[in-house]
Amino acid sequence: MDQSPPSGRSYVSVLSSFPPSVGQDVAVAVVKPLGVSLGNSDTCSPLLTDKQVKWTMEVLCYGLSLPLDCDTVKHCVDVYTDWLMSLVSQRDSIPPPIIREPNMYVQKILRHLHNLFEFRSDQYSLVYLSLCQQVLRAVQSMARKSTLMTRDTWETLIHFLLRINHSILAPPTTAGAISKQLSQLSMEVLLEVWLLSCARCFPSRSLWQTCRQMVSSWRHQPVVVEQWSRVVAALTSRLLLLSFGPLFPSFTVPEEDAALIPADLDNKRVPQTWFRFLHMLRNPADLSRLLVDSSSPLAQEEMLRGGDAQLPHIFLTAMRVVGTLVDAFLGLTVINKEPTEQLPSSTGLTTATHFRDRLPSLSVAMTRSPFKDRLPSYGLSRPRSGSAPPTPVNMSLPSIPPSATSPPPHNRRQKTANVSKATGRPVTVHQCVSSSPHHGTSSSFLPPPSSILSSSPRPSLSPLRCNIDSLLHLFGSWLFDAALINTDSSLSERWVAGQAEACGTLCRIFACKKTAEDILPVYLSRFYRVLLQGLQVSEEMRPRLLASVLLNSPGLFCCDLKGVNLLLPPFISALEKVLLDRDLLRFKSFVSLVNLRRASILILLTLVPLPLQFGSVQSEVLLNGQFSDDDVTAGSFLSLRARLIKVLMGALQTETHSTNIQTLLAATLNLVQDSALLEAAGQTQQAQESQNAGSSRSGHSEGTRQTRRASNIQSDPAGILWVQFVCLLTQRLTSHWRNDSAVCFSVLEVLGGLAKVELRVEESEKREAVSAICRYIVFQCSRPPPFHSRDLHSIIVAAFSCLNTWLTQHPTMLDHQACLSEVLEIVELGIAGSKSRQEQEVTCKEEKELNPASQRVKEAAEATLSCVMQVSGACPFAGGSLDEDALIGCCSMSDRQKKFRYFVVDTSVILAMLEHPPGPEQACPALTVLIRGPSGRRAWTLQLHLQPREGRTHTQASDQCSVSSVSLHRALTPEHAAAGPEDAGIPCGVIHESAERVPLVKADRSIPALHEAVDGEMQQQVEGLRATLRRQTQVEARPRVNSQSVVMTTCRPPAPANHFQTARLFLSHLGLLTPETLKDPGTRGVPAQLVSLDSSLPGFSEDLRHLDQLPSTNRDSAFIFYMRAGQRTADEILKNVASSCSVSSHFLDFLSTLGWPAEAGHPQPDRTRTHNAEFLTALGESGGGVFDGEKFVLMYADALTRITFIVPSSSSHTHWSSSQDESQQEPASRPRRKSETSRGEAMKSSHSVSSFVIVWVELLEDVESFPVSKLLAEETTDALSSSSKVQLLFIHPLKTGLYQIGFHGNSTSKFSLVVPLVNGSVVSKRSLGILVRETLINCFLRRRLESDSAPPPHIKRKHMISDIILRYRSHRSEPAFYSALFHNP
């Protein structure tokens, strides 16, 4: 009865030879008792011999082909599924022959069961679906649990599954949930059984080839790619762990997918299994050739109607799977967010679609399957509503002279016309272009039309990732074929989504190139061809391709790819297309406009420094964006500068997203600063050349020089660029951006940086910038009370800080009366809360009530007022270390015991007065005043002259005290003259008769009447004085007893006083010796306007010394480390700076641009420049370790801040650790060294807010292994309590002479993006040091604004002064106070 099935056909029963009615009757009669008996556990099988079993199986085989309208088919399925369990367990219902030889009978059963899956008219009914599911589940259970299966049984089982899947999946797709469920289950069982076979009985090569051929014919079914992706992902996760170890970023898949891999699968078989499963689907690009390469559009339409309409979508899904596998090998894991129903309010749109962003991140596991619902639609985000911005500025800048340009400093020999390298490693990261398919039984696995592309930054790449060539050997042919599919067909738009996915994956691969890695030229050439096709911006532009390339290429120009600079023109054209168009109507349906602009801006950051870096270097070919031989042109990099500037300025006007605007602002300061420095270098070179040839120009007149100087102010490209950017930023600060707090912070920081750029610009432009900042402060202070918050007040404080920067950098602006008045009005607004002059009303300041926006705003305005007084010359800072001991010594006073008089004015200024009476060495009495206030300590000297300045001799005019930098001369008394004879005979009581008619003025009332100045305690003394006067009057009125007459004497002026108290005269002239200033205001805790201090109290000198040690400017510090390639430990890093042979010469150049050498513990006068010879002298043979704080530090200081740079070394760490141990053991017996004190103070000033660490890395892959916690724990007394306080700035030198910046700032702050250096910036060597300083200053400023425990320096001094008043206030009565003024201290 056995009949072998023909090839490719099902097993044929002997009953098929009889008429259908006969076979059906036999089947019903035989099968029904067997099926019914299965439900009775006590019934044993009636089949006892092999012949009985075989004959019954022939009947069962025929019964499986009967129609489904009877129960016969169901009984056949029940019997066979029960007998299949003979390989798992023995049951009474299973015939004994089958139990004895289960493998042979199971093989026959599997051949018979194929009849159930043959095509029939009612195969899409629920009954049919239930029967097929029953068979598949039984087969699946048998494969999982059986331990008796032989190789023949495994192969028969695999053949069975291949045949039924072929019968289900090979036909064109038909709609219906039943068909989809059956297709998914059959494919799922096939792949799981295949994996089980790989673990227990590895399939033969012929089976793999058969499977590959069949699967390639099923690729038009969505479920095939879906189930294949699940298995490949699970195998990839296992393979990565085996190949790269546990330190490699994990690629975690869902538990249900990971369970597909058998636990007993040998590790040696995993690579073979993975590789064969990967290629089971063959090249996904073949799907596109089925349609795109067809002979005619008519044939394509026919194929689409024939069931291949889903091929483009399947192609897209397959390319997404490949992209995810590539990400896994690169160490980029995926974060899947939960579904959301509404976007943030800032986007202005809502959506009900589920979205999940691809956020590659190291060591982050996926929470859902990356393939089942892999990349669903992303929330659409568009620019904010509002009026369209003005048209982008059309820049036309004069070109920089060729003499001002220079070849790259890292490679001076690169002067040929062929420029082929760009810059190093990407720190910012690139995301794949993706949206996720639906899974399960949904009608379509495609993303909905609203799905969009996304791009987000990620951390640095794992150094363990595989090489680019190895990755391209695996996936390169698929990706290149998919990215370069034929696009000439009218139906090619259906394939653009998958093509864009392939382009994005290729961009990610090449952007992840390691620092010293080489790539085969064949791969580079094909990749550049892909980019040229994707970057086309002509009428045939494909927005998806362009978006995919831009989203995945932020760091492409930082990878040292050979020939990448040839792509500058097409990339600039693409940036113009994206950044200069606000609406982007052709992109918004499938991509997040915010992310697309952000990626474009990050690319712009890497392109901005290239034109100035390479200058007039000629490139052999620069393609203008089209892949065509006619578009090959020659040109210099400098010719592209104007286009980049236009893109930058236009993007500032069209961009509306806060983060994107801040990134553009960072590029702004980078561009202007680099242009100014390059121009200054060119002018210096020209000046030296002109000095050498000065004899030939000596005949030029001064008028000609002035004319040339004036013309240079207008023609300098950097100056013009500075003016345009300042005007643009100030205009948008006061209009479009004034409501965005984060953007306002960045704009103010950039404006402060632009104020420090050394350029020759018209004074009117500077005053206009200051006026714009003042208007911005007015707007913010004038907001209604509900809008006032801590963030708003922080912005106002930052605006005052920016204003201080402008005033200190350009003090001549205050010579303009209108500018000075406007600044003082803003100061008044900050202190009082309103202006005295508002429209037509004028309010006197003494009549105003102080109602500032907040105490912080008031304090910031007071700091600005102090800044105005300093830069205007009214209250300049003398500097130095003058104190009481120094003043007594330098004044050459013989009496060393003389004391100072101490007074406090307005509870904020301590006056220490030292009187100098006239003597042999000093003809005029003088007064030296030490003024200690919130803004610092200053010294004044005042001299009493009896002649006006114009009438003094030269000797008198120059006879001033040498201890002061400022002399204040006042005529304290009128000039003395001897009485002439005309004075004789003038009665003493004679007053001109018209004197009483002269009206009194305020000066006449400066001395109050006696009854007004007397209080209750002195009333008795006054009454006694009055009684005495009355008695004296009565005595004088009595007639003389004797006859002598009374002789009236004439009045003569008294002789000049030789000794008097100059301190009393000084206080009187300042209007401080009045009853109002000495009276207690009556408010608890608020002293009088003038208070004297008792210097005899213990601790007074120590508190004054402590006050003098408090800085009056911001004191910040930063640590600098050098990390060589491959280093991991702190000891290795600290040893690098011991010798110059261990560090790069460019690192030493960078140190020289940060500041000047200063002895530890000995601050030097403020300056902004350092001399190279001075730096080299201090450096010696070290690699920077001499600036470890033991002997030297690097110092930078200006009028507003002081920065200490410390380069820790291994020796300093040893001394520091030992000193800490000694200080803990003997806290009072050992005095601290100066180096320890200065180092500790510097680190304390830094760590009070946060720690700023600068790391020079040779390999960007080492960033993740930098031992920051260990190094900071060694360099500080206390370990950092929170890693969020550490701000890391990594500097990586590139082969082009540029520097890649990696910035890991404060991620917990809402205003964490600090400019000008952001993560991914590329800067030149010229501006690196300046931009690092600016970033450090801005970071600490933001930290202070966010922290309540870090008040500004002038507030700390103010609080200290208040404490001194409370401790050492002299509680004297008013008479005692006045009496003390007339006596020597």
pLDDT in tens, 1022-1063: 888 888 888 888 877 776 555 555 565 677 777 766 677 888
Higher pLDDT pick, 214 / 1224: 214
**Per-residue DSSP letter, 427:** S
How far apart (Å, rounded) are the C-alpha atoms in residues 281 and 1134? 53
The H helix count followed by the E strand count for the chain is: 47, 18
Mean pLDDT of 1232-1244: 50
Mean pLDDT of 420-445: 35
Residue 488 reports pLDDT greater than 70? no
How far apart (Å, rounded) are the C-alpha atoms in residues 92 and 771? 99
Q: Report which secondary-structure segment, H or E, holds 968.
A: strand 967-970
pLDDT in tens, 804-827: 999 999 999 999 999 999 999 999
Q: Which of the four pLDDT bands, split at 50, 70 and 90, describes residue 353? A: very low
Residue 536 reports pLDDT greater than 90? no
pLDDT in tens, 657-705: 999 999 999 999 999 999 999 998 876 666 565 555 554 444 444 444 3
Q: Identify the pLDDT of residue 664.
A: 96
The sign of the dihedral angle between the CA atoms of 474, 475, 476, 481 is: positive
Name residue, tokens 């949904």.
Answer: 442
Mean pLDDT of 577-586: 93
The 3-state secondary structure of 1161-1208 reads CCCCCCECCCCHHHHHHHHCCCCCHHHCCCCEEEEEECCCEEEEEECC
The answer to whether the beta carbons of residues 63 and 31 sit under 8 Å apart is yes
Q: Identify the pLDDT of residue 454.
A: 43
Q: Which of the four pLDDT bands, split at 50, 70 and 90, describes residue 574? A: very high
What tokens appear for 353 in the block? 């679609």
Phi and psi at 932, nearest 5°, equal: -110, 115
Residue 1229 reports pLDDT greater than 70? no
Q: Which of the four pLDDT bands, split at 50, 70 and 90, describes residue 1208? A: very high
Q: Identify the pLDDT of residue 1354.
A: 87
Q: Reduced to 3 states, what is the DSSP secondary structure of residue 651?
A: helix
Phi and psi at 1001, nearest 5°, equal: -115, 175
Question: CA-CA distances (angstroms) from residue 754 to 667, 770, 810?
Answer: 12, 12, 12
> What DSSP string describes 789-803?
-HHHHHHHHHHHHHH
> What DSSP string describes 270-329?
HHHHHHHHHTTS--TTHHHHHHHTSS-HHHHHHHIIIIITTHHHHHHHHHHHHHHHHHHH
How far apart (Å, rounded) are the C-alpha atoms in residues 983 and 1288? 84
**Per-residue DSSP letter, 42:** T
Q: Which of the four pLDDT bands, split at 50, 70 and 90, describes residue 323? A: very high
To the nearest 10°, report the CA torsion of 1110, 1112, 1114, 1119: -50
Q: Identify the pLDDT of residue 119.
A: 76
Mean pLDDT over the full length of the chain: 77
Mean pLDDT of 900-912: 91
Residue 801 reports pLDDT greater than 90? yes
Residue 1147 CA, distance from chain mean position:
24
Residue 971 reports pLDDT greater than 80? no
The highest-confidence range among 370-379, 442-451, 843-852, by mean pLDDT, is 843-852
**Per-residue DSSP letter, 218:** S
Q: Which of the four pLDDT bands, split at 50, 70 and 90, describes residue 308? A: low
Q: Identify the pLDDT of residue 361.
A: 30
Q: Return the number of other C-beta atoms located less than 10 Å from residue 1219's C-beta.
A: 17
One-letter identity of residue 413 = R
Q: Which of the four pLDDT bands, split at 50, 70 and 90, describes residue 872? A: confident
Residue 902 reports pLDDT greater than 50? yes
Q: Return the number of other C-beta atoms located less than 10 Å from residue 886's C-beta.
A: 14
Mean pLDDT of 164-184: 82
Q: Identify the pLDDT of residue 615.
A: 81
547: closest CA among 597, 491, 506? 597
Q: Which of 418-427, 842-851, 865-874 has the lowest mean pLDDT?
A: 418-427
Higher pLDDT pick, 102 / 623: 102
Name residue, tokens 């920051």.
Answer: 1268
Q: Reduced to 3 states, what is the DSSP secondary structure of residue 979?
A: coil
Residue 797 CA, distance from chain mean position:
21
Q: Identify the pLDDT of residue 1215.
A: 53
Residue 532 reports pLDDT greater than 60? yes
- Residue 146, burial from CB neighbour count under 10 angstroms (0-12, 13-18, 19+): buried
Q: Which of the four pLDDT bands, split at 50, 70 and 90, describes residue 1085? A: low
Higher pLDDT pick, 873 / 1000: 1000
The highest-confidence range among 95-109, 932-946, 1009-1023, by mean pLDDT, is 95-109
pLDDT in tens, 1172-1201: 888 998 998 999 999 998 889 999 999 899
Question: CA-CA distances (angstroms) from residue 99 to 57, 87, 149, 156?
Answer: 15, 8, 13, 18
The sign of the dihedral angle between the CA atoms of 1013, 1016, 1021, 1022 is: positive
User: In percent, how much of the chain has pLDDT > 70?
Assistant: 71
Phi and psi at 390, nearest 5°, equal: -65, 160
Buried b (16+ CB within 10 A) or exposed e, 780-790: bbeeeeeebee
Name residue, tokens 């992840």.
Answer: 512
Q: Identify the pLDDT of residue 644.
A: 95
Q: Reduced to 3 states, what is the DSSP secondary structure of residue 1312?
A: coil
Mean pLDDT of 239-268: 91
How far apart (Å, rounded) are the C-alpha atoms in residues 1157 and 1187? 8
The answer to whether the beta carbons of residues 1369 and 1377 sit under 8 Å apart is no
pLDDT in tens, 1165-1178: 555 566 688 899 89
**Per-residue DSSP letter, 402:** G
pLDDT in tens, 1255-1310: 999 998 888 889 988 888 755 544 344 555 789 999 999 998 999 999 987 767 77
Q: Identify the pLDDT of residue 161.
A: 95
Residue 1319 reports pLDDT greater than 50? yes
Q: Identify the pLDDT of residue 698.
A: 43
To the nearest 10°, report the CA torsion of 368, 374, 376, 380: 90
- Residue 920, burial from CB neighbour count under 10 angstroms (0-12, 13-18, 19+): exposed
1116: closest CA among 914, 942, 1253, 949? 1253
The 3-state secondary structure of 570-614 reads HHHHHHHHHHCCCCCCCCCCCECHHHHHHHHHHHHHHHCCHHHHH
Higher pLDDT pick, 359 / 7: 7
Mean pLDDT of 220-241: 93
Mean pLDDT of 206-232: 93
CA–CA–CA angle 418, 422, 427 (5° rounding): 175
Q: Identify the pLDDT of residue 211.
A: 94
What tokens appear for 629 in the block? 């031989």
The 3-state secondary structure of 120-154 reads CCCCCCHHHHHHHHHHHHHHHHHHHHCCCCCHHHH
Give the list of residues 6+ apart from residue 520 with CB closer than 8 angstroms, or none: 469, 472
Q: Return the number of other C-beta atoms located less than 10 Å from residue 1068's C-beta.
A: 15
Residue 1121 reports pLDDT greater than 80? yes
What tokens appear for 129 in the block? 């679906």
